[in-house]
Chain A
Amino acid sequence: AQTVTQSQPEMSVQEAETVTLSCTYDTSESDYYLFWYKQPPSRQMILVIRQEAYKQQNATENRFSVNFQKAAKSFSLKISDSQLGDAAMYFCAYSQSGGGADGLTFGKGTHLIIQP
Chain B
Amino acid sequence: GAVVSQHPSWVICKSGTSVKIECRSLDFQATTMFWYRQFPKQSLMLMATSNEGSKATYEQGVEKDKFLINHASLTLSTLTVTSAHPEDSSFYICSASPEGLASYNEQFFGPGTRLTVL
B46 touches A103 (CB 8 A): yes
Give the interface SS of chain A, mostly helix, strand, loop or mixed: loop
Give the interface SS of chain B, mostly helix, strand, loop or mixed: strand
List of B residues within 8 angstroms of A108 by Cβ? 42-43
- Scoring A99, A104, A106 by chain B CB atoms within 10 A of each residue's CB, the highest score goes to A99
Q: How many A-B residue pairs have CB under 8 A?
A: 65
Task: Count how many chain A residues have C-beta atoms less than 8 Å from C-beta atoms of the other chain.
Answer: 21
- How many angstroms between the C-alpha atoms of A46 and B4 in the bound complex? 12
A91 touches B43 (CB 8 A): yes
Q: Is there a chain A Cβ closer than 8 Å to B34's Cβ? A: yes
Known: A91-B44, A103-B49, A109-B43. A45 touches B105 (CB 8 A): no
B102 touches A101 (CB 8 A): yes
A43 touches B49 (CB 8 A): no
Q: What residue of chain B has the Cβ atom nearest to residue A99's Cβ?
A: B107
Chain A interface: which of B13-21, B68-76, B77-85, B92-100? Answer: B92-100
A45 touches B102 (CB 8 A): no
Show the binding face of A for B, using Cβ within 8 Å: 42-47, 50, 91, 97-109
Show the binding face of B for A, using Cβ within 8 Å: 31-32, 34, 36, 38, 42-46, 49, 59, 91, 93, 95, 97-98, 101-107, 109, 111-112
